[in-house]
Structure 1
Amino acid sequence: MRRPVGIKDVAGAAGVSVGTVSNVINRPDSVTEETRRRVLSAIERLGYVRSESARQLRAGRSRILAVLVLDMANPFFVGVASGAERSARAAGLGVMLCNSAESPAEEAAYLTLFSEQRVRGVLVTPADMSGRNLDAFRRHGIPFVFVDRVVPSADGCSVSVDDVNGGALAVRHLLRRGSRDIAYVSGPMHLTQCQNRRDGALRALAEVGLPPAALRHVEAARLDVTAGRDAGARLLGMAPRPTAVFCANDLLALGVLQTLYHAGVRVPEDIALVGYDDIEFAAAAAVPLTSVRQPARRLGGAAADLLIEETGDDAAAHRHRRIVLQPELVVRASTLAGARH
């Protein structure tokens, strides 16, 4: 196996010192134009690529931000990652994107990898709600920002969406259209998002004098379409069936919609349906889906900006902040009585 081309090889090919090659790469204004051209020609001819790990050791910090999300199959998190990447690129940084798959064990493994790689910082949507994984990671001194979650202390930054308000928006809409028998389909309830969206739904019921028991709850194993199909089958088995369903995300709602469609249940005439996130697929569904929109790209971009500020040249002036964005309801055919689809 051929060994990688090193800086000494470039220096020998260009007839200059190793220090001159280093200056051409890092401080090009400090060398003459003729020397710079000769060194760059040698770099191109030999195919030299500088060692980022070596550069990090000299500089004392990485140019890589890690982004650890719950589910890369969910377009919402794709949007979050896209927003984070845009901010990182604008600051001259790269992004390492990883997927915990909602698993605390996977999350712990990735956090260990990030500490070994000495990444500049981490954007994380936690899977381990006990906080143990991040408590262990904190001792490495690598900054992190919570994304789509409020940081539980004053020791860090977070960017989140007001999910309690989002859940209330969804159920208020269903109540206004006359629904009183409402089911909530959630993912695992150890996830804060699922808890908060249910709390918002209960708040909306309380506003019209309905007790918490009026909200029937179906807890799915995951926040994906397959779990939504299974939840749909459970809804069909209820007696009486609910007249409206609020799902904790759009993927669950799309799965529920598929099950209802194949069972001949009309949406919204028989059952009205609301999702959450407003991913691109929501508007393109067979019955366009009413959904609570989250500003995913803005969420990721704002979180990356906080992390870049905390790890930049003016880090001493950084103050931890909690940014809470507001969701909005986007109404489509899945809740509009008499809508054509």
Structure 2
Amino acid sequence: MSTTPPAAARRATITDVAREAGTGKTSISRYLNGEMSVLSPELRARIEAAIERLDYQPNQMARGLKRGRNRLIGMLLADLTNPYSVEVLQGVEAACHALGLMPLICHAANEVEMERRYLQLLTTYRVEGVIVNALGVREETLRPVGGGGIPAVLVDRSVEGLVADMVGLDNRAAAELGTRHLLDNGFDDIWFVVQPFEQISSRQLREAAFREVMSGEGGKGREGGPGGKGEGSRTGGKGNGDKGGARGHTLVLNLAEPAAVERALAELDRAIDAVGGSGGAVSSAADNAARSATDNATDNATDNATDNATVTAAVRAIGKPSRIALFAANAPVALCLALHLKARYGVDWQARVALLSIDDPEWAELTGVTTIRQPTYEIGYRAVEFLHERIEGVQTTARDCLLPGELIIRASTSR
């Protein structure tokens, strides 16, 4: 009994299709390239029937190399597990379908070396353009794309020295929107919690906008502790503005290092416990102290203006402890904070501390967390449109397309 496997069926070629349809290879090529106007209806029908009978599958890579066009674009993503990336990708795929492009998706899993390798690989595939939403790409890494190389569009971050279009959220406006919402709702101890932002332009813009708003509300302020590269907090000064001298802090939360996360969350716990939340023991003690001051001042006050001022200040303090709020720079940070707060303070943790997040993941609605929703689908769609214009030579100068976020107010900041 023979053990030789049967020979694989030979794939049909364009010559086979031409012979089956009774025409030349030129007509078949015109049909495959969509040049239907030069073919008669009868010939088009014969070619279509021949392709179906032979199950002909054209080699798109070979055809693309021959024409100098293959309609392939690369999409480099830092983190495909992030809902933001998934939603942007939906817009990318829809635009590719509409414009006749085929995306090659590369997931770098937040590894800078993987991002570099994927960019090199995409150039070997001769993609016509690249959309980049990556973590640590720098100008030297992106040198093969943009600036005269392969056309490139950056999503939600810019790279110094690289001439390329950028599409993303208006990060400054979004951070200002969230910060002012918290201030307007009476929160006067606000922590902006962000992943390391030394090399990520979108995080830098959000953190800077937060500090600028808080400095305007609470005086010039001061900075101390580690910066955006590592971990720790930076604190803004307390002033005498209309908002009662709100304090702003930046806390760096490095989600890639569990030990660093533990240290940062411990610092946050100390701050929350010191404030006491809306019903904590510290707040009760503050209320009791204020009431005692009021009673003492009232007993001793006659027409003494100083004592009257003491009474007024004490009365204002009663029942008005500091209100603490956390402003998460993105959904992964918000999820880390929410899980930690629930584990530490129980299901009613939002009675103790407010949470607001840039990004609007599905779980935020379930837990009543206020968010700033990004136009993720539109970001992805616009990125492909920009790239297509560059591929076709329509656009030459670099552009920034900044789209507004939408504030979704929920219970977490309404208590």
Coarse TM-score class (shorter-chain normalised): 0.7 to 0.9
Equivalent residue for 2:216?
207
1:301 corresponds to which of 381, 384, 387:
381
Equivalent residue for 1:221?
254
Q: Offset at 1:129?
A: 4.6
Query: Contact 2:194 / 2:203 at 8 angstroms: preserved in 1?
Result: yes
TM-score by length of 1: 0.86
Summarize the Cα distance change of 1:159–1:59 in structure 2 as closer, same or farther, 3 Å threshold. Answer: same
2:364 corresponds to which of 282, 287, 306:
282
Identity level (%): 31
Amino acid aligned to 2:408: V
Summarize the Cα distance change of 1:83–1:109 in structure 2 as closer, same or farther, 3 Å threshold. Answer: same
Structure-to-structure mapping, 1:41-56, within 5 angstroms: 41-56=49-64
Inter-partner Cα distance in structure 1 for 2:13 and 2:255 = 48
Matched, 1:75 2:83: yes
Report the count of equivalent residues. Answer: 332
More deviation in 44-53 or 176-185?
176-185
Inter-partner Cα distance in structure 1 for 2:144 and 2:130 = 14
Matched, 1:258 2:339: yes
Q: Offset at 1:218?
A: 3.3
Structure 1's unaligned 5+ residue stretches are none
Query: Contact 2:75 / 2:131 at 8 angstroms: preserved in 1?
Result: yes
TM-score by length of 2: 0.72
Equivalent residue for 2:270?
238
Inter-partner Cα distance in structure 1 for 2:350 and 2:184 = 14
Equivalent residue for 2:408?
330
Inter-partner Cα distance in structure 1 for 2:172 and 2:394 = 34
Structure 2's unaligned 5+ residue stretches are 1-7, 224-234, 237-247, 276-323
Matched, 1:21 2:9: no
Inter-partner Cα distance in structure 2 for 1:54 and 1:12 = 21
Matched, 1:147 2:165: no
1:6 corresponds to which of 13, 22, 37:
13
Instruction: Note the alpha carbon deviations across 1:83-128, whole angstroms, 9 max, x for none.
Output: 2222222212222222222222111111112111111111112322
Query: Contact 2:146 / 2:163 at 8 angstroms: preserved in 1?
Result: no
Q: Offset at 1:142?
A: 0.9
Inter-partner Cα distance in structure 1 for 2:174 and 2:256 = 17
Instruction: Note the alpha carbon deviations across 1:269-302, whole angstroms, 9 max, x for none.
Output: 2111011112333213xx2111122111111122
1:198 corresponds to which of 207, 223, 236:
207
Inter-partner Cα distance in structure 2 for 1:231 and 1:329 = 31
Amino acid aligned to 1:172: R
Q: Offset at 1:255?
A: 2.6
Q: Offset at 1:223?
A: 8.3
Query: Contact 1:228 / 1:254 at 8 angstroms: preserved in 2?
Result: no
Equivalent residue for 2:73?
65
Inter-partner Cα distance in structure 1 for 2:381 and 2:17 = 39
Inter-partner Cα distance in structure 1 for 2:412 and 2:27 = 67
Equivalent residue for 1:269?
351
Matched, 1:30 2:30: no
More deviation in 81-90 or 261-270?
261-270
Query: Contact 2:355 / 2:370 at 8 angstroms: preserved in 1?
Result: yes
Inter-partner Cα distance in structure 2 for 1:169 and 1:29 = 54
Inter-partner Cα distance in structure 1 for 2:256 and 2:403 = 22
Instruction: Note the alpha carbon deviations across 1:13-51, whole angstroms, 9 max, x for none.
Output: 334333332233233343443433333222112211111
Amino acid aligned to 1:39: I
Amino acid aligned to 2:105: L
Inter-partner Cα distance in structure 1 for 2:411 and 2:166 = 34
3-state SS of the aligned residue for 2:350?
coil
Instruction: Note the alpha carbon deviations across 1:195-235, whole angstroms, 9 max, x for none.
Output: 221112111210112525144443233489x9998588435
3-state SS of the aligned residue for 1:268?
helix
Q: Offset at 1:165?
A: 2.3
